[in-house]
Structure 1
Amino acid sequence: MPLSQDPMRYYRSKRDQQRPRVTDKYTILGFISSGTYGRVYKARSKEGDGRIHAIKKFKPDKEGDVITYTGISQSAIREIALNREISHENVVELKEVILEDKSIYMVFEYAEHDFLQVIHHHSQTLRSSISAPVLKSLSYQLLNGLLYLHDAHIIHRDLKPANILITSNGIVKIGDLGLARLTYQPLQPLFAGDKVVVTIWYRAPELLLGAKHYNKSVDMWAIGCVVAELASLRPIFKGEEAKLDSKKNVPFQKDQFLKIIDILGTPEEREWPGVKDMPEYLNMKRLDRNDNKLYSWCSKTNFAHGHEFLKQTFAYDPDKRLTARDALRHKWFQEDPKPTTK
């Protein structure tokens, strides 16, 4: 049927023509990164002060190997919905969402660097550790942003150095809420929809042991991993990920768990009573026993001053793990050397 004889098609065509396109409002300056979701570009606003932004373009969903428009992905909807409800100095701000040619563009404030780049710069270029005042400042700001998310009943679920941004003024911004979930009256159980959350090196032990129910403490375990990585300039628990089997079942992540118990020792039922109820408990029991060597690791890393903070962040029992609020009040931040102001 010709366009003129199909009122709905005609209306959609007119509406799409009137809707501003990305290039009407922004000049694309270059490519930043890509992932399973799509690509991120650096762009300058054509309006006002010509501010720099990061524009995240989502790929259309696939049906088989042929790209056909099947709607907006769950991850995109979730990220847009959560970002529109939040506003905090230490969380990346969503400026606007643009729908163009069946693609979604999320326009974020721009941050020049991320923690992964900071770690790489210190380990490869400067060849020196991050100073204690700067490390404390980065950690404090990160926790400040996470407390805001947790108070808003949001679990990030994918905290890692590449997702934690930092501006040229030294302000930390938590980014990438693509895996984040609301914990307050969720429509589905947290494990439904995506069996695996959190990149393996930052994944909490309860997730590695197959927990179906978990809470905000998975983010605090990831915080401990990130702080330890800032201190040592390398991942503290760098395991090999076991891949899904042919039926898409998640296998026991033996190597990752071994990396954890090599430093933290074997979990004891007296310190984590719920461990015996975990689906992978018997697999864990088959592993060789280990003693806790965290203080030794901290001493070798010249991070003895942060031992107590890490010890409480790496509590095996999620209910005994430090919360974001308690972490911000931790004596580590009060002791000399104090955090830098930014």
Structure 2
Amino acid sequence: MGDGRGGGAQRPAWLQMYELVGKIGEGTYGLVFLARTKNRKGSIAIKKFKQSKEGDGVSPTAIREIMLLREITHENVVKLVNVHINHTDMSLYLAFDYAEHDLYEIIRHHREQLNLLPINPYTVKSLLWQLLNGLNYLHSNWIIHRDLKPSNILVMGDGEEHGIIKIADFGLARIYQAPLKPLYENGVVVTIWYRAPELLLGAKHYTSAVDMWAVGCIFAELITLKPLFQGVEVKATPNPFQFDQLDKIFKVLGHPTTEKWPTLANLPHWQNDQQNIQGRKYENPGLHNIVHINQKSAAFDLLSKMLEYDPKKRITAAQALEHEYFRMEPLPGRNALVPTQPGEKIIAYPVRPVDTNTDFEGTATLQPSQPPSSGNAHPGVAGQQMVSQRGVPRQMQSMAGMPRVGPNSSMAAFNAASQQAGMANLNPANLPMQRGTGQQQMRRKDQGMGMQNQGYPQQKRRF
């Protein structure tokens, strides 16, 4: 693509803006491609949504993602650069700034390539602080992400934003409000290993606390280099109850009780108790024995508060940012990948592999495959030629050129425009939308919901 071959004249005008490198990811809702642009520096990640059923128009998932990302601006949230549509087949493409790394690949690199070498404490603390900073901004604006996991937490490579976290993939994100409509009607959310116990037990109403449980799981994974709760998912059933996942949680944290979690008795799958989870006995080994950190340490205290069973008692992102853990040396910094001491070796984390044989599915002919670079090809991708690029896109990045929602905003204008114009004012390509995609009014701010944190602890920053 971009070399003038393979029917380039038939390509849509927007597609001629990019030089396609290859595919860098594939998910439930579509594909993610790496491309270079002809009118701006750097590389771009282009997310193509899979086509919906004939006559249904553009997927509500795509519309929600576009609307949310147009309305939020934060250094630790992905940046939507452009939106394109092919009107011939109604395929939708979102363009994002590219991030070279993600937490999944960083953790895997330490586990498999560096023989379980622990991640530098400064790096762990900086990654976690930035993740909480971005999440606090989202929660302050009444957005629940609902799919936080290491592969959705991107890290910028070389450039002005080197070492900066970007929360990505807002396909499951929702604005939450007073209990006018239970969120459980949206179906199963959050990848199983990072799914909060209230979701697993069928809660009809849930809050941003589900994101904080996922952050706790990610924090533990950064420390131990392996998932904390690795349950086996039964995918044959649409209900959220997953016994094996609950079993893994109970074995580490102990059996939940109504004394510590009063609303536990009201959760549907606890009440039904079809698999006798109430009567099971667990010998609690203690979380500290799993993560191997001192019970009296600030890190363990923070982790324990993130993994609190009762979502009402679970620490919020705003509270976590003020925790003692972030006020102790080494202090977190803006560049999570820089060394903490002069002369300390910088770890060269691998960038994402690129499948150069995959095209935009018929929109153009891809340029001849490039030879794979040494050492970065993914194992298990048989028959695909892979190449690692230093400027390759990931999925999505922070937000520029979009209307900003301030920390104190209730996003009322966003909702008003959505309701009055059927979202047309916020629909960048005038896309035909499926029914039921309108946003709802948000409730007023709860007590304890934090604002965007304005600076690193004690205003000390590492660059």
State TM-score, norm by structure 1.
0.87
Offset of residue 302 of structure 1: 11
Choose the corresponding residue for 2:32, options 1, 19, 40: 40
Offset of residue 304 of structure 1: 5.5
Counterpart residue number, 2:71: 85
**Given that residues 132 and 339 in structure 1 are in contact (C-alpha distance below 8 angstroms), is that contact kept between their aligned partners in structure 2?**
no
Counterpart residue number, 2:170: 177
Matches within 5 A, 1:34-183: 34-47=26-39, 49-62=40-53, 68-100=54-86, 101=88, 102-127=90-115, 128-168=117-157, 169-183=162-176
Measure the CA separation in 2 of the matches of 1:88 and 1:20: 32
2:33 aligns to what SS in structure 1? strand
- For structure 1, the 5+ residue unaligned runs are 1-16, 63-67
Counterpart residue number, 2:309: 316
Bigger fraction of residues in helix = 1
Q: What do the CA deviations read for 1:50-74 (whole angstroms, capped 9, x no partner)? A: 3211100111113xxxxx3521112
Choose the corresponding residue for 1:255, options 244, 256, 260: 244
Measure the CA separation in 1 of the matches of 2:85 and 2:306: 41
Tell me which amino acid in the other structure corresponds to 1:39: L
Counterpart residue number, 1:10: none
Choose the corresponding residue for 1:28, options 20, 27, 50: 20
Choose the corresponding residue for 2:209, options 217, 227, 230: 217
Measure the CA separation in 1 of the matches of 2:148 and 2:240: 22
Tell me which amino acid in the other structure corresponds to 1:263: V
Offset of residue 340 of structure 1: 4.0
Counterpart residue number, 1:13: none
Measure the CA separation in 2 of the matches of 1:154 and 1:303: 33
Tell me which amino acid in the other structure corresponds to 2:279: R
- Find out whether 1:198 has 2:190 as its counterpart: yes
1:243 aligns to what SS in structure 2? coil
Does the C-alpha gap of structure 1 residues 338 and 27 become closer, same or farther in structure 2, counting only changes over 3 Å? Answer: same
Higher relative contact order (CA 8 A, sep 6+): 2
Does the C-alpha gap of structure 1 residues 260 and 319 become closer, same or farther in structure 2, counting only changes over 3 Å? Answer: same
Counterpart residue number, 1:289: 282
**Given that residues 293 and 300 in structure 2 are in contact (C-alpha distance below 8 angstroms), is that contact kept between their aligned partners in structure 1?**
no
Does the C-alpha gap of structure 1 residues 38 and 341 become closer, same or farther in structure 2, counting only changes over 3 Å? Answer: closer
Choose the corresponding residue for 2:221, options 229, 236, 247: 229
Q: What do the CA deviations read for 1:194-218 (whole angstroms, capped 9, x no partner)? A: 3100000000000011101000000
State TM-score, norm by structure 2.
0.65
**Given that residues 242 and 252 in structure 1 are in contact (C-alpha distance below 8 angstroms), is that contact kept between their aligned partners in structure 2?**
no
1:322 aligns to what SS in structure 2? coil
Q: Alignment identity in percent?
A: 48
**Given that residues 154 and 166 in structure 2 are in contact (C-alpha distance below 8 angstroms), is that contact kept between their aligned partners in structure 1?**
yes
Does the C-alpha gap of structure 1 residues 199 and 303 become closer, same or farther in structure 2, counting only changes over 3 Å? Answer: farther
Superposition CA RMSD, Å:
2.1
- For structure 2, the 5+ residue unaligned runs are 1-8, 336-463
Q: What do the CA deviations read for 1:63-103 (whole angstroms, capped 9, x no partner)? A: xxxxx352111211111111110111100011111111311
Tell me which amino acid in the other structure corresponds to 2:126: S
**Given that residues 298 and 306 in structure 1 are in contact (C-alpha distance below 8 angstroms), is that contact kept between their aligned partners in structure 2?**
no
Q: What do the CA deviations read for 1:17-48 (whole angstroms, capped 9, x no partner)? A: 9x96332211112211011211101111111x
Counterpart residue number, 1:65: none
**Given that residues 179 and 205 in structure 2 are in contact (C-alpha distance below 8 angstroms), is that contact kept between their aligned partners in structure 1?**
no
1:231 aligns to what SS in structure 2? helix
Q: What do the CA deviations read for 1:271-318 (whole angstroms, capped 9, x no partner)? A: 100001111113430332343601222326999652111110011000
Offset of residue 251 of structure 1: 6.0
Tell me which amino acid in the other structure corresponds to 1:95: V
- Of 263-272 and 134-143, more deviation after overlay is shown by 263-272
